A and B are shown apart, each in its own frame.
Chain A
């Protein structure tokens, strides 16, 4: 499909999208002919334009598939470890899972100053899952799309965390938990008070009344910035990393010398990226713990 560099990059950055095209939509077929749909149809998008035209009710099949697949893999590994959990000497995978659990447990105990049955498993989920999704970046960019292309799947974006929907899906869930626990711990009045009585307050009732909208604006921005920054940080880092992998992959079609250089660069960037994917997974987990810890704090 992709012939020139722009096309190649665009192709790599387009998700496999399943959604509904409205009646009367003019589809551009692979051979350039235009087919008008007689009725609204649920179908896979043939191009980025079609995917955009599908509107909100469309699914990125690749992102969802890979993220759900990785989640299932992790659940399988964890579930097996939990099932085999005993006080005997742990071996193999069991040992590894316990190592991760111990690490998460220590981190949560250090950063979270409340008592919650949710935070530690949540941190475990986020760290391992984000790590796995990011780690998909280390598979050479063309391998999986080529394999799927052979089966007639035209688009395949294999790194779920380069999809802004995925990162926002997680950060919005975290945000919902923040709001939930804020209200649960502090009560609605406490939560509203936190939003409106800081950072400016005054003993004078009248002045205080003036401050409330200002405070509300500032605190709302601060509150909303949390999930947005959480999602965009991960997305941005992974997207940029993926983009560089794609640009390096472009060099492979530029002659022997360039391809060799590309190989070296690919290797170097992958090694560096191991750090990035781990760090991003850790940051996402850490910030989630800190945000939830703040939500649990009663002033």
Chain B
């Protein structure tokens, strides 16, 4: 418990230690720490910015997706419409064709009927002449009555 020159020794040691810390330790370390702090802050900023960018990009992508979906729907609708139109057209064409065919068939049938009628008429006149000639035998002159019979056949 004696006060002695230890005091002076301690003061000197203290002064050296403080000077060392002041000169070499404090500025170096604090500078590095401040710099690192800045670096971390910058990094965080960048991360935030990236997140925001990502959000924007996602938003944009979503928008584009929606747009393209809309477009696709529109195209499909158009295609459907076109298909219906084509079907309608085809139906119309088919109907026309059908009616045309039917008309042609009708005409042919009529022709055939006429032809048959003509044939029948001629055969009827021939039959009538044959029948009449058989009934009248020789009383009826083919030459004189033939004209009359032709007239009759034409009236049929």
Question: Closest Cβ of chain A: how far from B18's Cβ, in Å?
Answer: 5
Interface residues of B in 45-94 (CB under 8 A from A): none
The answer to whether A165 and B17 touch across the interface, beta carbons within 8 angstroms, is no
Give CA–CA (A82, B30) in the complex, Å: 9
The answer to whether A168 and B13 touch across the interface, beta carbons within 8 angstroms, is no
| CB-CB nearest in chain A for B12 | A169
Chain A interface size, as a band, is 35 or more
Interface residues of B in 1-46 (CB under 8 A from A): 1-11, 13-18, 20-22, 24-26, 28-33, 35-36, 39
Q: Is A156 an interface residue (CB 8 A)?
A: no
The answer to whether B2 and A82 touch across the interface, beta carbons within 8 angstroms, is no
Q: Is A97 an interface residue (CB 8 A)?
A: yes
Set B3, B5, B18, B33: member contacting A168, Cβ < 8 A? B3
Give CA–CA (A57, B7) in the complex, Å: 10
Given contacts A64-B10, A67-B10, A71-B17, contact A164 B33 (CB under 8 A): no
Q: Which residues of A contact B21 (CB under 8 A)?
A: 75, 78, 121-122, 124-125
Determine the main DSSP class of B at the interface with A: helix
The answer to whether B30 and A101 touch across the interface, beta carbons within 8 angstroms, is yes
Q: Which residues of B contact A121 (CB under 8 A)?
A: 18, 21-22, 25-26
Question: Closest Cβ of chain B: how far from A77's Cβ, in Å?
Answer: 9
Set B7, B20, B39: member contacting A79, Cβ < 8 A? B20
The answer to whether A74 and B17 touch across the interface, beta carbons within 8 angstroms, is yes
* A 18-62 binary contact with B (CB < 8 Å = 1; else 0): 010000000000000000000000000000000110111111100
Set B11, B28, B30: member contacting A172, Cβ < 8 A? B11
The answer to whether A124 and B6 touch across the interface, beta carbons within 8 angstroms, is no
The answer to whether A165 and B4 touch across the interface, beta carbons within 8 angstroms, is yes
Interface residues of A in 119-142 (CB under 8 A from B): 120-122, 124-125, 129
Give CA–CA (A61, B3) in the complex, Å: 13
- Give the B interface residue count (CB, 8 A): 32
Question: Closest Cβ of chain B: how far from A55's Cβ, in Å?
Answer: 7
The answer to whether B4 and A57 touch across the interface, beta carbons within 8 angstroms, is yes
The answer to whether A78 and B5 touch across the interface, beta carbons within 8 angstroms, is no
| CB-CB nearest in chain B for A101 | B29
| CB-CB nearest in chain B for A89 | B36
Given contacts A59-B9, A166-B10, A172-B7, contact A124 B32 (CB under 8 A): no
Give CA–CA (A187, B24) in the complex, Å: 30
Set A51, A98, A164, A169: member contacting B8, Cβ < 8 A? A169
The answer to whether B26 and A120 touch across the interface, beta carbons within 8 angstroms, is yes
Q: Is A163 an interface residue (CB 8 A)?
A: yes
Q: Is A102 an interface residue (CB 8 A)?
A: yes
| CB-CB nearest in chain B for A162 | B1
Set B22, B24, B36: member contacting A122, Cβ < 8 A? B22
The answer to whether A54 and B25 touch across the interface, beta carbons within 8 angstroms, is no
Give CA–CA (A191, B152) in the complex, Å: 165
Q: Which residues of A contact B20 (CB under 8 A)?
A: 75, 78-79
* A 101-131 binary contact with B (CB < 8 Å = 1; else 0): 1100100000000000110111011000100
Which residues of B are at the interface with A, using a C-beta cutoff of 8 A? 1-11, 13-18, 20-22, 24-26, 28-33, 35-36, 39
Which residues of A are at the interface with B, using a C-beta cutoff of 8 A? 13, 15, 17, 19, 51-52, 54-60, 63-64, 67-68, 71, 74-75, 78-79, 81-83, 85-88, 90, 97-98, 101-102, 105, 117-118, 120-122, 124-125, 129, 163-166, 168-170, 172-173
Q: With A54-B2, A169-B9 given, can you name 6 additional A-B contacts, CB distance below 8 Å?
A: A57-B4, A58-B6, A59-B4, A78-B21, A164-B3, A170-B14
